[in-house]
Structure 1
Amino acid sequence: MAALGLAGLGPGEAAAAAQALALPAESFGNDPRLELAWAMRAHQHAQIHFNLISSVDPKFLRLTPLDDRIYAEFRGRFPELRVDVLEPEELKSEPAKAKWRPFCLSFQDLVEDFNFGTLLRLDSRQDYSEENSIFATRIQFFAIEIARNREGWNDAVYGKPR
């Protein structure tokens, strides 16, 4: 459904949405145009990410200059978290949020836009889709996707035609 809304944006609307994204969050209530702009940005990020892991061997891929640190801290705090197929409750339940919050905040001054919403695939073997995607923070996305790259879970999509 969001794809239809995104496709309906003309050049002027897209430019206005981009300009709105530069304003502080306090400037907005629940503006549907802003939500659409964020959805559009998250969708573009997802497309770029999947194209990247489909065409570059994920074990050689670096998503940030801090990949080593993000991975070490992630696995130090979440050693048993399965990243091949995520359970939404591992990210969204109240106990999970309490565990994730200190991890996320530890990257507040290190990772630009660490808390921006982005799409994250639930099953690492599949493309982004409505059924296979959830919203997560950018640092959660980096932590999980870096782990998937290093642990071989994204190998399933490397070279896979779209």
Structure 2
Amino acid sequence: MAANNGYPGIKGTSSVALHSSLPAEEYVNDPQFEVMWAMKAYNHAEVYFNLISSADPKFLMLTTADDKIYSCFREAFGDLDVKLLGPEDLKSDEAKGKWRPFCNQFDGIVDDFNYGTLLRLDCEKGYTDENTIFATRIQFYAIEIARNREGFNGPLYNSKS
């Protein structure tokens, strides 16, 4: 990657465009593509954290489908403690078996529903190596909508305001 402030430049961008348009069986791991994904995921996390730190999260709408996401999430995961998640809540075989059908029902409803996103495990803490896990966009939305509506993200806002 050229030394241009961490951005891939024209050559890198065209490489990403090429790889993102290939059929899945022809896709190869391109380090530039992975760096761009990591930058986008980090930027998304940073913007979201700044948002819930500066605006009362109970009033936030993350998507046009927040009500549907929340009701379906609580129907499928009524006992999930969204305040403090463990990796097994998302990554165990049992969890994956529950998450997969939940996530897939939002295909065509939520843009980039299966796009990789960073999620905080403990909602009282920020994005750190120890407190961050990889999740799909719809998992992020479901958990963060629940945290916002159930008041778990409120202390972040209250501590900053």
TM score, norm. by length of structure 2: 0.87
Question: CA offset at residue 105 of structure 1?
Answer: 0.4
CA distance in structure 1 between the aligned counterparts of 2:130 and 2:40, rounded to whole angstroms? 19
After superposition, residues 46-85 of structure 1 pair within 5 angstroms as 46-85=45-84
C-alpha change, 1:10 and 1:113, in structure 2 (3 Å) is closer
Task: Find the counterpart in structure 2 of residue 93 from structure 1.
Answer: 92
Question: CA offset at residue 8 of structure 1?
Answer: 3.4
Segments of 5+ residues of structure 1 without an aligned counterpart are: 1-5
After superposition, residues 22-37 of structure 1 pair within 5 angstroms as 23-24=21-22, 26=24, 27-37=26-36
Which of residues 8, 32, 38 in structure 1 aligns to 2:6? 8
Residue 105 of structure 2 aligns with an amino acid whose one-letter code is S
Task: Find the counterpart in structure 2 of residue 3 from structure 1.
Answer: none
- For the 8 Å contact 2:19–2:27, the answer to whether it is kept is no
Over the aligned positions, Cα root-mean-square deviation in angstroms equals 2.2
Tell me the SS of whatever aligns to 1:136: strand
CA distance in structure 2 between the aligned counterparts of 1:48 and 1:99, rounded to whole angstroms? 29
Tell me the SS of whatever aligns to 2:119: strand
Task: Find the counterpart in structure 2 of residue 103 from structure 1.
Answer: 102
Task: Find the counterpart in structure 2 of residue 136 from structure 1.
Answer: 135
The 10-residue stretch of structure 1 (128-137 or 27-36) with the greater mean CA deviation from structure 2: 27-36
- For the 8 Å contact 1:85–1:123, the answer to whether it is kept is yes
Residue 152 of structure 2 aligns with an amino acid whose one-letter code is W
Q: Which has the larger radius of gyration?
A: 2
TM score, norm. by length of structure 1: 0.87
Segments of 5+ residues of structure 2 without an aligned counterpart are: none
Residue 8 of structure 1 aligns with an amino acid whose one-letter code is G
